[in-house]
Amino acid sequence: MNMKPANEEIRFEVLGSQRIFESAELQDRANQNSWDEWRKQYRIWLGDHEAAFMTFDIFLPNELNLYELFVATEYRGHGVGTAAIRFAADLGRRMGKAQLSIRARPLSGQSQDDLIAWYIRRGLTPRAEDPEFLMLNLGRN
C-alpha cells in the first residue's frame, strides 16, 4: 500500500464532460457515471495523487444527493472520504439545500452494514423505513 502522510492537502476539482483520470480504477468509476447538467462531479486529490471521484445529483430543490463517492483502494483510510462528506455538506449549504442524502451502495468488497456504519460515524442518519438511505440535516429549513 502507498502510505501518504496525514498532513497532505485534500483538494476538490470540479469536472466537466471531459473526465480523464490517470488512475484506471477512478477512470472506471467515472465511465460508469453519466455526466449531464443535473450532475456535478469532482476529482479528489490527496497531495499530488488522484484519490477519489464523487458525483452529485443537483436537481432536487431542497436536497443535495451524493450519488457516488469512490475512494481509490490505495487511499482508503487516509481521511479522503471523511473530507468528501464535509465538502458535500458545505457544498449543499452553499447551494441552499436543506439536506444531504446518500444511498449507501458498496462499490467494492465492503459490506452494506459496514458502509452504513461508516456514514453514521460521520453524522448521517438512516431513514427508519429504508436504512440504506442516509440523510444529514444541513441546518436550513
With a pLDDT cut of 90, the percent of the chain lying above it is 79
pLDDT at 44: 98
Please give the CATH number for the structural domain made up of 10-137.
3.40.630.30
The string of pLDDT tens digits covering residues 16-75 is: 888 899 999 999 999 988 888 899 999 999 999 999 999 999 999 999 999 999 999 999
DSSP string, 45-112: EETTEEEEEEEEE--SSSEEEEEEEEE-GGGTTTTHHHHHHHHHHHHHHHTT-SEEEEE----SS--H
Task: Provide mean pLDDT across the span 111-138.
Answer: 95
Q: Which residue has the cell 451524493?
A: 66
pTM, two decimal places:
0.89
Each domain of the chain, given as residue ranges in start order, spans 10-137
Looking at every residue in the chain, the average pLDDT score rounds to 91
